[in-house]
Amino acid sequence: MESHAVIRALGALAQEHRLAVFRLLVQAGPDGLPAGALSEAVGLPASSMSFHLAQLSHAGLVGQRRQGRSIIYSADFAAMNALMAYMTENCCGGAPCVTATACC
């Protein structure tokens, strides 16, 4: 993953509502959730939810598909895994990490 994509993804997640939405989508798995359900779960109006979903989509963290009259959003697990791999690539200076405290 290139640094500009990492910055875009982290920037998208650095907002309370977008982080909550992304976590919900990760929990939902590949089936995803409709925008209305996300809006209700986070307590945001539809217009605000649309803005936040667009930011996550622009960052490459979520995908969307039409299902009937609904748009279903789902986490892009490949992008999430690439972001996590980038963040932990040099963890523990190349030594195998046994526990979180081992890196400290």
Taking only the tens place, the pLDDT of each residue in 21-65 is: 999 999 999 999 999 999 999 999 999 999 999 999 999 999 999
**The model's pTM:** 0.86
User: What's the pLDDT score for residue 99?
Assistant: 60
72 forms beta bridges with: 34, 65
d(CA 24, CA 32): 9
pLDDT reading at 104 higher than 50: no
Question: How far apart, in whole angstroms, are the C-alpha atoms of residue 19 and residue 57?
Answer: 13
Residues in the chain: 104
Q: Note the maximum CA span of the chain.
A: 51
In the prediction, which pLDDT does 93 show?
74
Question: Into which CATH architecture does domain 3-90 fall?
Answer: Orthogonal Bundle (1.10)
